[in-house]
Structure 1
Amino acid sequence: MDHRTLIAALPAETKFALMARSDSAGLRHLGVYGLALAVGTIGILLLVPLWPLLILPQGLFLVFLFTLSHECTHQTPFKTRWLNEVVGHACALPIALPFIWFRYFHLAHHKWTNDPKRDPELAGKPRPDSWPSLLAYLSGWFYWRAMAQVLVRNAFGRFDAPYLPQRQYAVMQREARFLLGIYALAALSLLVTPALFWVWILPVLIGQPFLRLYLLAEHGLCPPVADMLENSRTTFTTRAVRFLAWNMPYHAEHHAFPNVPFHKLPEFHTLTRAYLKSTSEGYSGFATTYARAMNHDPIHPSSG
């Protein structure tokens, strides 16, 4: 059974219930998430005992704002539309991910998931297929470079991606200029105090490899087929990781039915688990499988 057949087979009342969005569920999750970030930030700034140990969790909570931004592009974390917009834009600042641009990039990814030529996440290139390319990918270098290029191009009005609507060019240009202005001020602040280096810059650099591995598991080694239950991977992991990633380890479920909000994905998973075709037991399990595939069978776009 493919994802279209599965969704079509669901009773209308079940689909309606699965799509129910909730401000309270989203705000509760965001509140705990924000509290964790606040504790880390205050602890680092106050130099509490063993404060360097806070840098890694601080980095994880910062870089995994990517998953919240991703959910906001779908308008699913909150029932109220403006909450999704405000939170999505707020997520852009610490991870240099312009929200309006990312919305169209991500919609194209959903339309052409794992298609080697049309999925913008692949951009016509294979996933890491050697140890040097994997290490470079995990470092986050390609991400930071790509986002810098996107921000500069957008700021100068140089839009050439086919998935970006012309009606949004001016908005995306203002968005990029605003973010670049904020980053310029942040750079200047480092001449006065290193605070942002310790609570933001160093943590996101340290946290990025963990996010890269998480993202590689979403579609890595999955075939370039139309069935979302096969071209996307669900990773069975801990509640802590699911919390950090806003339940996006249920990734095949998310691609099969993107209108299901994060807090309903565990429920949807119970309906889809028997039909999932690409799964992994934890991220260490996926990493082991990926390493074996890379060592014994070169990874090309045609094999995910």
Structure 2
Amino acid sequence: MTKEEWLAIRQQLPDDTRIQWTQLLYIVDLCVLVAAWLIWLKAPVWIRPGALILAAIATIQIYLILHEAAHGSVSNKRRINDLVGHLCGWMIFLPFLPRRRYHMAHHAWTAHPLRDPENKNMIEKLSVMTEKQGRTLEFMWRHWIPMIAANHFIGNWRAPYQARAKGNHSPQIKKEIRFTYIYLAGYIAVAGLALTFHAGWQLFCFYFPVWISLLIMVEVLNLPHHAEAPLQAEDDDRLFFWDQESVSHDCGTLPIWSRFIILNFNLHIVHHAFPRVPWYHLSRARDLLAQQRDSVGPEPMDEWRYALKNRRRPLLTLMGHFFDRRSSSKTRPAEESQTTF
């Protein structure tokens, strides 16, 4: 995408959120979760899997609404936007403030090995990974065990405490730590209520598989968008929004699923180009970009076909070779090291 194309499209895209579609969707998802919980408690055993499916769909959307809140796209009012973000984060065990800080850095420094926190964390972990740990990672990858997503969630909980341990006592870090305490207090309160009404085991059996399915979906939805895209050099400057097409990929569009379940999250190129644009305007952004060009490339694979195909490939051949720095740079020419990463 050229800067001229980007400017032409940007002028035609509204980024206000006066139409509160995302807030309404959040309320709908809450109602679906309540309905699924009641079905789980009251319905016959053979109907209960349907309750888990309903809850899983609602939980996926809650994760995506948190993503909208991280971009400030839920509401023009900061307090409402942050409130929805915190409620979503609390419900799925993903603290909103560290998630927003990490995600904004990801958009600002996409494909940078150090300044994009997602890349930095991957490099730090893979660089100390033993061969045995590498085999374990490949086993989990092939068998759809969502270790990458779980590590991402845990990393967001640890982030403010790690920052404080390194000497960062900024108001932002203090606020992030304060909210982790608030989240934990909420979990304790819910656990206490569940035990009081003798529903603790029921709640665990209901929500734990839903949360595991969320972790699987986080990997299915996120990994295709930047996999097999090479990293920048460590001394490179950030990419402009119109340049990020080279390090981001779309997934194919599936009827109903893409727009109404995953909220156009598959349109990742225009999302990186216009990160403030709400999910319900991304399809228009994609169409405007297509109009700017003489030809349209082939439709990319959707998330499910991508996952089914690439879960059979070793993870390090899919994307990890950009992050795995266990091989010493002394054993290969400098030119090769620069092109590898």
TM-score clears 0.5: yes
Correspondence 1:25 to 2:21:
yes
Q: Distance in 2 between matches of 1:179 and 1:195?
A: 21
Aligned pair partner of 1:280 in 288, 295, 300: 300
Which residue is equivalent to 1:9? Answer: 8
Q: Which secondary structure does the structure 2 equivalent of 1:104 belong to?
A: helix
- The residue identity in structure 2 corresponding to 1:254 is H
Tell me which residue corresponds to 2:116: 119
2:221 maps to a residue whose letter is Y
1:7 is aligned with what amino acid?
A: W
Which of 49, 54, 57 aligns to 1:57? It is 54
Residues of 2 paired with 1:153 and 1:294: CA distance?
29
- Give the AA of the match of 1:139: I
CA separation of 1:201/1:289 partners in 2, compared to 1, >3 Å: closer, same or farther?
A: closer
SS in 1 for 2:217: helix
Q: Equivalences for 1:76-155 in 2 at 5 Å?
A: 76-125=73-122, 131-135=138-142, 138-148=144-154, 150-151=156-157, 154=160
Give the match for residue 32 of structure 2.
36
Q: How many angstroms does 1:250 deviate by?
A: 1.1
Q: Could you say which residue in structure 1 is the equivalent of 2:273?
A: 256
- RMSD (Å), alpha carbons: 3.4
- Residue correspondence of structure 1 range 123-272 to structure 2 within 5 A: 123-125=120-122, 131-135=138-142, 138-148=144-154, 150-151=156-157, 154=160, 158=164, 160=166, 166-188=170-192, 191=195, 192-193=198-199, 194-224=201-231, 226=239, 227-238=243-254, 239-272=256-289
Cα distance in 1 for partners of 2:296, 2:89 equals 32
Which structure has the larger Rg over C-alpha atoms? 2
The question of whether the paired residues in 2 share the 8 Å contact of 1:155 and 1:173 is answered with: yes
For structure 1, the 5+ residue unaligned runs are none
Q: Describe the shift of the 1:11–1:231 C-alpha distance in structure 2 as closer, same or farther (beyond 3 A).
A: closer
Deviation at 1:288, TM superposition (A): 4.7
Distance 1:99 1:249 in 2: 22
**Preserved CA contact (<8 Å) 2:267 2:282:** yes
C-alpha distance in 1, partners of 2:210/2:316?
34
Deviations 1:140-167 (A, max 9, x none): 3344355345435646973549xx8823
**What are the superposed Cα offsets for residues 164-189 of structure 1, whole Å, 9 maximum, x if unpaired?**
88231221111011112223344455
**Counterpart contact for 1:228–1:255, Cα < 8 Å:** yes
Q: Which moved more, 1:269-278 or 1:83-92?
A: 269-278
The CA deviation at 1:276 is: 8.1
Report the residue type matching 2:23 in the other structure: L
Q: Distance in 2 between matches of 1:68 and 1:58?
A: 15
Report deviation, 1:292. Answer: 6.7
Q: Secondary structure at the match of 1:19?
A: coil
Distance (whole Å) between structure 2 residues aligned to residue 276 and residue 69 of structure 1:
32
Q: Which moved more, 1:66-75 or 1:215-224?
A: 215-224
Query: Which residues of structure 2 form unaligned runs of 5+?
Result: 127-133, 233-238, 324-339
Secondary structure in 2 matching 1:33: helix
The answer as to whether partners of 1:69 and 1:99 remain within 8 angstroms in 2 is yes
CA distance in 2, matches of 1:183, 1:60: 22
Q: Write out per-residue CA displacement over residues 239-268 of structure 1, whole angstroms, 9 at most, x where no aligned residue.
A: 224322222211111100112111111111
The one-letter code of the counterpart of 1:246 is L
Could you tell me the TM-score, scaled by structure 1's length?
A: 0.81
